[in-house]
C-alpha cells in the first residue's frame, strides 16, 4: 500500500472562493478539526496577502501539533520572508513557493522568459531552504506547460532543495488520462525526483478535479491537495471527502491509503458549512443529505435484503450521525456528555453547559432528539462565544395578516440587559429592526435563507429550521451568521445576532 499524504488547502485556496471567508477564531476551529480529521498538511493561508492572513497562519501554526503547517509564497524574497515569519513556530513548518510555467502565464502575466523563470526557481527555492527544511514547489498552470521545460523547472527546484513537487491543473483544463501521463513523464524526466514527493492540485472547472487527482495517484503521485466540500477558486478544488473515500473504498484498485480518520469527515464538512453558511448540496457525494438515501422501492428492497446490493460505503464510516432518537427531555447533563463524546465531540464545561441549556429548551419543544439535532446544537454553540458578544435572552413576536407585525427583543451584552420593541412588514423585519435600534447599528442584511436541518428526514412537526444571513455594517466586510431553532423566527433572530457578533468581533 502506498501512503498518500493529504494536503488540505481549505483555509487558503478554499477560503478564496466567494462567500467562504472566515474570521481568525473560525480558522483556528477549522484547523483543529482538520488535525482531528487526520490530514497531513494544512495550508493555513498566504501570509503576505494581508496582516490578517499573516496572523491566521501564525495562530494556526501555534494551535496544531501533529500536522505540518504550510504558508503559500510567490517566488519573491518578501513573500518567502512573510511565509517563514508566519510558520516558523509551527512544530512542522513548510514553505510553499509557486511560479507559473506555462507560456501564456510567463508571457502575459509574469513577463519573464523561460531562462528567467528557471533561474528564479533555483534562487527562490534555495532562499526558502535557508529557513526551512520542508519546501514545496508548485509550477502554476503545470498542466498547460511545455513538458520538457516543466521537467527542467522541477529539476531545478529539487536541486535547490524542494522536498515536494506540486503539479497543479490550475484552470481545471486537463483530463484524467493527460494528468496521469504527465505524472509518469515527470517521474522519468525530473532529475532527483526520487528525493521528493510528487503532489497534485486540481481545480474543478470541468468537474474532473477528483478524477484527475486519482489518475495522478494511480500514476505515482504521493500527495493530493484538496479542500473540504471541494470549496475553492471558481468551481472549486478537488473534494477531500471524495478523494479519501475513493482511495479507501477502492483500495483494491489504487493499492493506496491515507491517514484520514474517515469517521470525522461528516463532522468536518458540517463545521465548514456552518462557519461559511454555504450549504452542502443534497446530492453531493459522501456528505450530501441524499448520499446514503434510497428512494426507489427496488433499491430499498435490495438494501433490506443485503445492504451491499446498493451500498458501497457505510454511512457510519463517514461519521454520519444516526437519526434515531438518542436522548429525551429527562436526560441529564451526564448522558448528554456521554452521547456527545460517543459522537466524537469533547466539550469543556462551559460549552457543555451552554449546549445543555439549548438541549433542554429543544427537548421541551420537540418529541425526539436525534444525533443530527445534537450535532446542530454543538455546531451552533459558537453563536455567542466571543468577548463582548450579544446573547438572545427572550423574544416575543406578534405577527399576522392585516395588522402590523411587532417584536419585543431582549439581549444580554457584557452583563447588561438590553430591550427594544419595533414594528415591521413581517416578523423577521420587526425583530431585526429592534436589534439594530438597541445596538445603535446600521446593519445591512445582504442575504437571508431558511432551511430544514435534517433535509427531507424530519417530519414537519419535528423539523429544526436553520437560518443563514449575510450582514455588513458601514459598507465594510460581510459576515455570515447562522442560527437554529424549532421556531424559524427564533432561528432568524439567532442568525442575525451571530452575524452581528462577528461584525463586533472584527471591529475590536
Residue whose CB is less far from ligand KIV, 105 or 380:
105
Cell of 310: 446498493
| Cα dihedral 32, 332, 376, 42 in deg (nearest 10) | 10
Shortest distance (Å) from residue 417 CB to ligand KIV: 49
Cite the beta strand spans of 312-404 per DSSP E. 325-327, 369-370, 390-398
> Which SS3 state, helix, strand or coil, does residue 256 take?
strand
**Residue 37 per-residue DSSP state:** H
Report yes or no: 378 and 355 within 8 Å, Cβ to Cβ. yes
Residue whose CB is less far from ligand KIV, 167 or 219:
167
**Cβ of 247: how many Cβ atoms within 10 Å?**
24
What kind and span of H or E run contains 473? strand 465-473
Q: Helix 349-365 and helix 333-342: axis angle, to 10°? A: 100
Residue whose CB is less far from ligand KIV, 72 or 389:
72
Residue where the block lists cell 425583530: 431
Q: Should residue 499 be labelled a site residue for ligand KIV when binding is judged by CB under 6 A?
A: no
Q: Quickly list DSSP for 55-113.
A: HHHHHHHHH-SSSEEEEEEESSHHHHHHHHHHHTTSSSEEEEEEEE-SHHIIIIII---
Site string for ligand KIV, 85-124 (x = CB under 6 A): -------------x--------------------------
Which of ligand KIV, Zn ion, none sits in contact with 494, Cβ below 5 to 8 A by type?
none
| Cα dihedral 85, 86, 89, 95 in deg (nearest 10) | -90
Q: Should residue 241 be labelled a site residue for ligand KIV when binding is judged by CB under 6 A?
A: no
> Which SS3 state, helix, strand or coil, does residue 231 take?
coil
Shortest distance (Å) from residue 197 CB to ligand KIV: 14
- Of 366, 322, 372, 395, which Cα lies nearest the Cα of 486? 366
Distance of CA 181 to the CA centre of its chain: 31
Cell of 24: 481568525
Q: Should residue 138 be labelled a site residue for ligand KIV when binding is judged by CB under 6 A?
A: yes
Residue span binding Zn ion (CB under 5 A) among the ranges 5-13, 47-55, 95-103, 457-465: 5-13
Beta bridge partners of 483: 467
Shortest distance (Å) from residue 136 CB to ligand KIV: 9
Q: Should residue 140 be labelled a site residue for ligand KIV when binding is judged by CB under 6 A?
A: yes
Distance of CA 418 to the CA centre of its chain: 35
Number of amino acids touching ligand KIV (CB under 6 A):
10
Which of ligand KIV, Zn ion, none sits in contact with 138, Cβ below 5 to 8 A by type?
ligand KIV
Residue where the block lists cell 466571543: 386
Distance of CA 252 to the CA centre of its chain: 29
Shortest distance (Å) from residue 12 CB to ligand KIV: 8
Of 12-31, binders to ligand KIV (CB under 6 A) are: 13
Report yes or no: 458 and 485 within 8 Å, Cβ to Cβ. no
Residue span binding Zn ion (CB under 5 A) among the ranges 10-18, 26-34, 36-44, 144-152: 10-18
Which of Zn ion, ligand KIV, none sits in contact with 98, Cβ below 5 to 8 A by type?
ligand KIV
Q: Should residue 236 be labelled a site residue for ligand KIV when binding is judged by CB under 6 A?
A: no
Residue span binding ligand KIV (CB under 6 A) among the ranges 21-29, 164-172, 191-199, 271-279: 164-172
Residue whose CB is less far from ligand KIV, 29 or 140:
140
Site string for ligand KIV, 199-228 (x = CB under 6 A): --x-x-------------------------
Q: Should residue 170 be labelled a site residue for ligand KIV when binding is judged by CB under 6 A?
A: yes
Which residue is at the shortest CB distance from Zn ion? 13
Residue where the block lists cell 502565464: 105
Q: Should residue 180 be labelled a site residue for ligand KIV when binding is judged by CB under 6 A?
A: no
Q: Should residue 168 be labelled a site residue for ligand KIV when binding is judged by CB under 6 A?
A: yes
Q: Should residue 13 be labelled a site residue for Zn ion when binding is judged by CB under 5 A?
A: yes
How far apart CA 262 and CA 256 sit, in angstroms, is 15
Which of Zn ion, ligand KIV, none sits in contact with 120, Cβ below 5 to 8 A by type?
none
Report yes or no: 59 and 42 within 8 Å, Cβ to Cβ. no
Of 57-86, binders to ligand KIV (CB under 6 A) are: 72
How far apart CA 134 and CA 93 sit, in angstroms, is 7
Q: Should residue 172 be labelled a site residue for ligand KIV when binding is judged by CB under 6 A?
A: no
Cell of 268: 468536518
Q: Should residue 143 be labelled a site residue for ligand KIV when binding is judged by CB under 6 A?
A: no
Which of Zn ion, ligand KIV, none sits in contact with 212, Cβ below 5 to 8 A by type?
none
Cite the beta strand spans of 64-134 per DSSP E. 68-74, 93-100
Shortest distance (Å) from residue 98 CB to ligand KIV: 4
Which of Zn ion, ligand KIV, none sits in contact with 140, Cβ below 5 to 8 A by type?
ligand KIV
Residues forming the site for Zn ion (CB under 5 A): 13
Interaction site with ligand KIV (CB under 6 A): 13, 72, 98, 138, 140, 166, 168, 170, 201, 203
Amino acid at each position: 500500500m502506498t501512503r498518500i499524504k493529504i494536503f488540505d488547502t481549505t483555509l487558503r485556496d478554499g477560503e478564496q472562493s466567494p462567500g467562504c471567508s472566515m474570521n481568525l477564531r473560525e480558522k483556528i476551529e477549522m484547523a483543529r478539526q482538520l488535525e482531528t480529521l487526520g490530514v497531513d498538511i494544512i495550508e493555513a493561508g498566504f501570509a503576505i496577502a494581508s496582516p490578517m492572513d499573516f496572523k491566521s497562519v501564525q495562530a494556526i501554526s501555534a494551535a496544531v501539533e501533529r500536522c505540518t503547517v504550510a504558508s503559500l509564497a510567490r517566488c519573491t524574497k518578501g513573500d518567502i520572508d512573510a511565509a517563514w515569519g508566519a510558520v516558523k513556530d509551527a512544530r512542522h513548518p513548510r514553505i510553499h513557493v509557486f511560479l507559473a510555467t506555462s507560456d501564456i502565464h510567463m508571457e502575459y502575466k509574469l513577463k519573464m522568459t523561460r531562462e528567467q523563470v528557471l533561474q528564479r526557481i533555483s534562487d527562490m527555492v534555495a532562499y526558502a531552504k535557508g529557513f526551512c527544511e520542508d519546501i514545496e514547489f508548485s509550477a502554476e498552470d503545470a498542466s498547460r506547460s511545455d513538458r520538457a521545460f516543466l521537467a527542467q523547472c522541477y529539476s531545478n527546484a529539487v536541486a535547490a532543495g524542494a522536498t515536494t513537487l506540486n503539479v497543479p491543473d490550475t484552470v481545471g483544463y486537463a483530463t484524467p488520462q493527460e494528468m496521469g501521463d504527465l505524472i509518469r513523464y515527470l517521474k522519468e524526466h525530473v532529475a532527483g525526483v526520487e528525493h521528493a514527493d510528487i503532489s497534485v492540485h486540481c481545480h474543478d472547472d470541468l468537474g474532473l478535479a477528483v478524477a484527475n487527482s486519482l489518475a495522478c495517484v494511480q500514476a505515482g503521485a504521493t500527495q493530493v491537495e484538496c479542500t473540504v466540500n471541494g470549496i475553492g477558486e471558481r468551481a472549486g478544488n478537488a473534494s477531500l471527502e471524495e478523494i479519501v473515500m475513493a482511495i479507501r473504498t477502492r483500495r483494491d484498485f489504487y493499492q493506496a491509503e491515507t491517514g484520514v480518520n474517515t469517521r470525522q469527515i461528516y463532522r468536518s464538512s458540517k463545521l465548514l458549512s456552518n462557519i461559511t453558511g454555504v450549504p452542502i448540496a443534497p446530492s453531493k457525494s459522501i456528505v450530501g443529505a441524499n448520499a446514503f438515501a434510497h428512494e426507489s422501492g427496488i433499491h430499498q428492497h435490495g438494501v433490506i435484503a443485503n445492504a451491499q446490493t446498493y451500498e458501497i460505503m457505510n454511512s457510519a464510516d463517514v461519521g454520519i450521525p444516526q437519526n434515531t432518537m438518542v436522548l429525551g427531555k429527562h436526560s441529564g447533563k451526564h448522558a448528554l456528555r456521554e452521547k456527545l463524546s460517543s459522537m466524537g465531540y469533547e466539550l469543556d464545561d462551559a460549552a457543555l453547559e451552554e449546549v445543555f441549556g439549548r438541549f433542554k429548551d429543544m427537548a421541551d419543544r420537540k418529541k425526539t432528539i436525534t444525533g443530527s439535532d445534537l450535532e446542530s446544537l454543538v455546531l451552533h454553540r459558537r453563536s455567542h462565544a466571543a468577548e463582548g458578544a450579544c446573547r438572545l435572552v427572550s423574544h416575543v413576536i406578534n405577527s399576522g395578516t392585516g395588522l402590523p407585525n411587532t417584536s419585543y427583543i431582549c439581549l444580554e451584552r457584557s452583563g447588561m440587559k438590553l430591550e427594544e420593541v419595533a414594528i415591521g412588514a413581517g416578523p423577521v423585519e420587526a425583530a431585526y429592526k429592534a436589534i439594530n435600534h438597541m445596538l445603535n447599528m446600521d446593519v445591512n442584511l445582504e442575504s437571508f435563507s431558511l432551511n430544514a436541518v435534517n433535509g427531507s428526514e424530519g417530519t414537519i412537526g419535528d423539523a429544526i429550521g436553520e437560518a443563514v444571513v449575510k450582514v455588513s455594517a458601514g459598507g465594510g466586510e460581510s459576515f455570515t451568521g447562522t442560527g437554529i431553532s424549532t421556531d424559524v423566527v427564533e432561528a432568524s433572530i439567532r442568525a442575525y445576532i451571530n452575524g452581528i457578533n462577528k461584525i463586533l468581533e472584527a471591529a475590536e
